[in-house]
Amino acid sequence: MSPQRPDTHIHEQKGDASISFLRSRIDELDARIIGLLQHRARLAAQVQRERIHRGGTRIAAGREAEVRRRFSAGLGPTGDAVADAVLLLCRGAADGDASRRPSDDVADRGGERRADL
């Protein structure tokens, strides 16, 4: 086995520094994304409470479909999965139960769904 050339070692160190820098930028973006998702969840909770106060369901299936379309248009094939994760995160924001689905709300209202809210 031949010893590693010194210039190769320097190149690897520069590459490691570049990767570290890029990873730190990704970490910064992750922190911002988390903050934005937390903010979105708070806003979704306000919308849910207001909709329920007006006699509607907690979840508006039509609105969720709009969100999925926007994410798919912006992110391509993986947009649906990202939208589903975001919606799931924010869906339980009003009562802390992120496991509920739109069908749960229909059952809670005796099968009635008000699309106007």
- Distance from chain centroid for Cα 77: 15
**Per-residue CA distances from 99 to 44, 55, 85, 95, 96 (Å):** 15, 22, 11, 11, 9
Q: So where are the chain's domains?
A: 15-108
- pLDDT single digits (tens) 72-109: 999 999 999 999 999 999 987 555 444 444 444 433 43
pTM over 0.95: no
> SS3 of 32, please?
helix
CATH assignment, 15-108: 1.20.59.10
